[in-house]
A and B are shown apart, each in its own frame.
Chain A
Amino acid sequence: MQKLLLITVALVAVCAAGISTPWLQFALTLAIAKGFAALGVAVLLRAGLISIGHAMFFAIGAYSVAFLGRDLGLSDFVGLLVGATFISALSGVIIGAFMVRYRAIFFAMLNLAVSMVLFSLLSKLYSYTGGTDGMRVASPTFFGIAAAEQTIDLILFLTTVLLIPAVGLIVNAYLKSPLGHSLSAVHTNEVRLAYLSVPVGGILMVAYTLSAALAGLGGAIAALAIGHVLPEMAYWTESGHLILVAVLGGVGGVAGPFIGSTFLELTHTVAAGITDSWSMIVGIALLVVIFFLPNGLFGLFNPKRKERAI
């Protein structure tokens, strides 16, 4: 009960902060968008899988919004979000079908390879994707009604905030289900699962697809908020940042990635006025979290776990 109250108050606080200060509203929308993607990364981390390419689904979601708008003339807000999430999930199924056969470092590297192919295609195919300039995203409409830009931003912001509990409940239910529990079983002892004739491939497919959909949703929100999509969204350092956000916030609970990304965004805003060595601060913070706060980080740093043979 107290937990529920806490979440509600936190969400209301975020809402109020966003409504009162327009640029903070934009920053928070982006932070939450990245939080969704980081949540996707966190789901995979539960199974011990680290992807240095997950930003590709963020980019797929974002570019889906741009393409759906430009080439299919789709401008409905809900349609764009649903469509982009669906396309990302579909890409997740296709790419995941190959990925779930690999573990450990090979999983990480293959994801990296696919994301870099996507990144370079997005930046080089100038006539289709706008190249390194990216693509504009037209303002969405709401059930056929065009609104003023400020109103659109506000609706987008509020929707994004409301999506946290909505999506959070779904992901939470998934993680509490046998499907979700088996993720950590894959992490600790995959061979045993195989003996129990648990379909490990299927379990990972569901997780991969879900994580791709989450990243795609985040990308779609970011595209609508920025009004522009760019190839950098798929670059490998972006994937690194998504893992970082997930780990900083803690991969144990659904709220972790959102706390992580909002915290990062807010401190970035504060730090920007004082120092430009932002990367260094984040890097040091990451090392400190990993070295000194290992208990807060679910499963990932379980000391009992034996090193996986590669």
Chain B
Amino acid sequence: MLQILIPILVDALANAALIFFVAVGLTLVFSVLRILNVAHGSFYSIGAYAAASLGLWIIGSGLPAWLTFPSLLVSAALVAGIFGPAIERTIVRWTYGKSEAVQILVTFGLFLILEDLQRIVFGVNSLYEDTPMGLLGSVTFGGVVYLNYQLLLIGLAILTIVGLKFLIGHTRLGRLIAAVVADREMSQAMGINTDRVFMIAFTLGIFLAALGGALATPTSGVTPGLGADTMVLAFAVAAIGGLGRIEGAAVAALIVAVARVLAIYYLPALDAVAPYIVMLVVLLIRPYGLFGSVAARRI
């Protein structure tokens, strides 16, 4: 029994870590901007494509292989830097205070544009760049070989939770964000530059999505259509945790991951259904998610 429990646990943690980054980005954007960004998944796949391309370029031009580690971070930062401020200023800002229908539609339009943009920039073929995975080697748990890279991801996810909590609770920027989340009009009246806060929060959200995609590349391929699949999974995780709740996203990622891994081990026919059944059950009982409050405003 134990022999199977350990692999299930490690797999669940590894899976949870992978979904966490993109889901927490979605939830962060929602909590600050109160916008459900349907194009969020596209930044995951753009991050993945960027990281794979950069990694392939590093290897191709004979640079040291360890550079592929920082390149994961760099590509996510690049994606966030290029898209975050530009999209927030031109398109997303326009939808503040509009109805959900408008926000969903505008971001869906953005999703369609970004999908084709990826085709144009990165082509239609799959990319694969696994140097970081190879460099780190492997380890055996419960008779199953795992990659040290998978464990590194679990650590990074935990670090991100702590980091985000610290950022919001203990820094000036965090307090500004919290103030804006709590009361937009009042913050404005107090002289907080809400426009700037929105832009930073949106860019941070995109950075987290792109980082999720970038960190996934060493252990998975990058293919067209990744954005749409990730979007809906991130959606499920964020909704289960309660839109706008960071710890909610972490717990929900773990729940969804456990459900998927259990399904693959014992009921493979249901592996793809598991996350959505969890989402449905949770939302029917608690529409605001496990950690959400009725106001859904806290961060």
Any A–B CB pair closer than 8 Å:
yes
Q: Is the interface of A mostly helix, strand, loop or mixed?
A: helix
Minimum CB distance partner of A282 in chain B: B112
Docked-complex contact B108 and A240, CB < 8 angstroms = yes
Docked-complex contact B276 and A290, CB < 8 angstroms = no
Docked-complex contact B280 and A117, CB < 8 angstroms = yes
> Does residue A19 face the partner (Cβ distance < 8 Å to B)?
no
Least Cβ–Cβ distance between A108 and chain B, in angstroms? 6
Contacts A113-B236, A113-B239, A117-B273 hold; do A283 and B110 have CB atoms under 8 A apart? yes
> Does residue B265 face the partner (Cβ distance < 8 Å to A)?
no
Docked-complex contact B232 and A286, CB < 8 angstroms = no
Docked-complex contact A310 and B101, CB < 8 angstroms = no
The distance in angstroms between the C-alpha atoms of A251 and B110, with both chains bound, is: 21
> Does residue A104 face the partner (Cβ distance < 8 Å to B)?
yes
The distance in angstroms between the C-alpha atoms of A236 and B280, with both chains bound, is: 15
Which residues on A sit within 8 Å (CB–CB) of B120? 277
Contacts A104-B100, A106-B287, A301-B98 hold; do A113 and B279 have CB atoms under 8 A apart? yes
> Does residue B102 face the partner (Cβ distance < 8 Å to A)?
yes
> Does residue B161 face the partner (Cβ distance < 8 Å to A)?
no
As a 0/1 sequence over residues 247 to 278 of chain A, the CB contacts with chain B under 8 angstroms (1 = contact) are: 10000000000000000000000000000111
Which residues on B sit within 8 Å (CB–CB) of A116? 232, 236, 276, 279
The distance in angstroms between the C-alpha atoms of A236 and B105, with both chains bound, is: 13
Docked-complex contact B99 and A108, CB < 8 angstroms = no
> Does residue B116 face the partner (Cβ distance < 8 Å to A)?
yes
The distance in angstroms between the C-alpha atoms of A244 and B107, with both chains bound, is: 11
Q: Which residue of A50, A104, A117, A278 contacts B276 across the interface (Cβ within 8 Å)?
A: A117
As a 0/1 sequence over residues 97 to 141 of chain B, the CB contacts with chain A under 8 angstroms (1 = contact) are: 111111011101111110111011000000000000000000000
The distance in angstroms between the C-alpha atoms of A114 and B279, with both chains bound, is: 9
As a 0/1 sequence over residues 223 to 243 of chain B, the CB contacts with chain A under 8 angstroms (1 = contact) are: 000001001100110010001
> Does residue A52 face the partner (Cβ distance < 8 Å to B)?
yes
Docked-complex contact A109 and B101, CB < 8 angstroms = no
Interface size class on chain A is 35 or more
Q: Which residues of B contact A (CB under 8 A)?
A: 34, 36, 38, 91, 94, 97-102, 104-106, 108-113, 115-117, 119-120, 228, 231-232, 235-236, 239, 243, 269-273, 276-277, 279-280, 283-284, 287-288, 295-296
Q: Can you name 29 A-B residue pairings with CB atoms under 8 Å?
A: A98-B284, A102-B287, A105-B243, A106-B287, A110-B284, A113-B276, A113-B280, A114-B280, A116-B276, A117-B273, A120-B273, A124-B271, A236-B232, A244-B105, A279-B115, A280-B112, A280-B117, A282-B112, A283-B113, A286-B108, A286-B109, A287-B106, A287-B109, A290-B102, A291-B94, A300-B101, A301-B98, A301-B102, A308-B100
Contacts A120-B273, A300-B99, A300-B102 aside, 12 further interface pairs with beta carbons under 8 A come to A48-B99, A50-B100, A52-B38, A110-B287, A117-B277, A235-B228, A240-B108, A279-B113, A286-B109, A291-B94, A301-B98, A307-B97
Q: Which residues of A contact B (CB under 8 A)?
A: 45, 48, 50, 52, 98, 102, 104-106, 108-110, 112-114, 116-117, 120-121, 123-126, 235-237, 240, 243-244, 247, 276-280, 282-284, 286-287, 290-291, 300-301, 305, 307-308, 310
